[in-house]
Amino acid sequence: MSELSERFETHAPGDKLAGDKLRCDACPVMCYIAEGRTGACDRYGNFGGRIVRCDPVRLLDYAVESGAAVVPFGGDGWDGELVNTTRRFVTAIGAGTTYPDYKPAPFIVSQEVEGVDLVTVVTEGIFSYCGVKVKIDTDRHLGAETAIVRSQGEAVGHVTTGEYGSQMLSLGGVHHLTGGSKSEGRVTCDTLLELCNKKAVELEIEGGAKVVVQAGQPPVIDGTVENRMRVGCGSATIGMFASQWRGLVDEVVVVDDHITGVVSEHQAGKVLGWEETGIRIIGRRSTPGRYFKVSEPGLGWGGTTISDPLAILGEWNPKKGARPGLSLLMVSTTGEQFAYYELDEALAPVAKPFPERLGKSVKLIEENCEPALCTVLFVGGAGGSLRAGVTENPVNLTRSVQGLKTYVTVGGAPVYVWPGGGITLMVDVLNVPDGAFGYVPTPALVAPIEFTLRKDDYLALGGFAAEIRSVDDVVARGGEYFNERSAGAAPARNPWPPLAQLRRSQGARP
Ligand code: SF4
C-alpha cells in the first residue's frame, strides 16, 4: 500500500466513520482520513477526531481612507487580539466548501456600511470548468495559432489569437481537466494551480518555443528573458517618431512581423515632407509605407525570423530617388535591434558605424516600451451547486449577479463577470492574496469566491437568514471546519468589497 493510500481511502457516500477514519465530505472524492493525517488535497485533515480545514480562514484588512496607508491587521503593534478599527472582510480563502451545497455556505457574514446592511456569502468553490488566459508581452513568435501547449509533456491548452504586442495562451478547461487521460487531467490541474498561485511554469508550444510563465514576471522565451514589449507595430512606430528622424537620416524602416513601416512612403512621412528614396520592401504592401509578411514569424527582429534586416530589401530604384550616399536607419519595434547603412556607388546598402545623431531616437523607442510581463487571468464558471450554498433558489443568485445586485470577488479581488448566462468570472491572479487557490483530485481547481449584496436583496432571493453572522462572531468562533483565523493587509489596489458593492448599488464607481 502506498504512503498516499495509507493516508486516505475514497468511498462512495456512506458512514461518516470507517474504523478510526473520518470521512471528509468537502468534495466528491470523499476521503476517509486517519487520525493525524490529511486527505488527498492536503486541505482537510483528521485532527482530534474531527475534520479540520488545515489552512486558516483569511481575513483581510483595508485602509479606512482611500489613499491612506494600509494598516496590517496582524502587523507591527498588533497585540494579538483580532480586534481593530479598520475595515475587515472575511474572504473565502481557507473557508472550506460545503459540497455539494445541500447546506449553507461556510460563512454568511453581515456588515453595516454607511447605514446599509450588507451580507457576504463566503465559500471555496470547486471549479471543474475553469482555466487561465495567459497574456505574454512579446512580439516573438511562440507558436502558431491553435498550436498545442504542453506542460510536463501533457497537452494543457493552446495558443489563441494574439493581441497588440502580446501573445495569448488559453490553458486548462474541462476537456483537458477531465476529458483526456488521467495524467493529462492531473498535469493540467497542477499547471493551473501553479499559475494561479503566481508560481513559474515551463510550457512548451508544439512547433514553437519553450516559455517560462509567471504572473507579474517577464516571460523567459527559449532561455532568454524578454525585457520589453514593443512600442507599437512598425507603422505606429513610424507615426510616433517620424518627426524626430526628419533631417537626421534619409530613410527609416521599422521591422515588424505585423506591419513593417517605411517612413518615406508612410502617411506620416508624406505629411512631414520626406522625399522618395527608391527603396523596395520585399513583402505584401498594405497601404503606402505599410507592409505585411516581410518574413515568417520568429524570434528575430520585430518578431520575424530576420537576423539581417537587409534581407527584406529589394533593388533600390534610382528613378525614384535612390542615390549613392543615401542614409538608411533600420530598427525593430522595441529599439533593441538597430543598424545604419549608406548606399554605395552601385546603390547597395553598406553597414556603417551607428551615428550618434540617431542614438537618441532609438533610445526613445526603447524608453517608450513598457516592461514585458506575463498576465494570468483565472476564468471559472461559478454555476452548479455552489449557488445552492448561497440561496435556496440557485437561479436567483445568477440573476442577482447579472443584475449587478450581487458583487462577486475572489479572495476579495474584484472580478469581471461575463455577460450572458451563468456566472462566468475572470480575475487577475495578481490581485488575489498569495496561496489562495487549491485543488481536489477529481481533478478541479478550488478558488475562493465571495458574493456581497444588500441584506434585503439577500433575503429576497431566498438567502439563509438564520446563518447570517457578524464578522466578530466569525473571528471569535470560526466555522464548521474548526480552522484558525488569520489576518493580513488586502492588496492595496483592491477596493473593500462591501463598499464597492454599496457604491455600485448607488450607481457610483466603487
Ligand atoms: S480531496 Fe480534499 S476536499 Fe476532497 S474529500 Fe479528500 S480531503 Fe476532502
| Separation in Å, CA 22 to CA 1, 95, 320 | 19, 20, 86
Q: The pTM is what?
A: 0.87
Nearby residues of 467 by Cβ (< 8 Å), 6 or more positions away: 104, 105, 108
Q: Which three cell numbers stand for residue 392?
A: 435556496
Q: What are phi and psi of 399, to 5 degrees?
A: -65, -35
pLDDT at 69 over 60: no
Q: Whose CA is nearest to atom 7 of ligand 1?
A: 39
| Sign of the dihedral defined by the CA atoms of residues 254, 260, 265, 267, in that order | negative
Residue 495 CA to residue 428 CA, distance in Å, equals: 14
pLDDT at position 262, please? 96
pLDDT band at 479 (very low <50, low <70, confident <90, very high): confident
The pLDDT value recorded for residue 13 is: 46
pLDDT value at residue 482:
82
Which range, of 75-84, 181-190, 197-206, averages the lowest pLDDT? Answer: 75-84
Cα of 58 vs centre of ligand 1, distance in Å, is 20
Residues in the chain: 510
Question: To the nearest 10°, the Cα dihedral for 311, 314, 302, 370?
Answer: 140
Tell me the CA distances in angstroms from 431 to 173, 235, 348, 439, one per residue in order.
22, 34, 54, 19
Residue 33 Cα: closest atom of ligand 1: 7
Give per-residue pLDDT as tens, 135-188: 999 988 999 999 999 999 999 999 999 998 899 999 999 999 999 999 999 999
Taking CB atoms and a 6 Å cutoff, what residues make up the pocket around ligand 1?
A: 24, 26-27, 29-31, 39-41, 43-44, 440-441
Give nearest CA residue, ligand 1 atom 5.
Answer: 30
- List, in sequence order, every residue forming a beta bridge with 281; answer none if it has no partner: 313
Which of 92-101, 106-115, 357-366, 418-427 is least confident?
92-101
From the alpha carbon of 45, which atom of ligand 1 is closest?
7
How much is the mean pLDDT over the chain?
A: 89
Mutation pick for ligand 1 pocket among 25, 30, 127 (CB with most ligand atoms within 8 Å)? 30
232, pLDDT greater than 70: yes
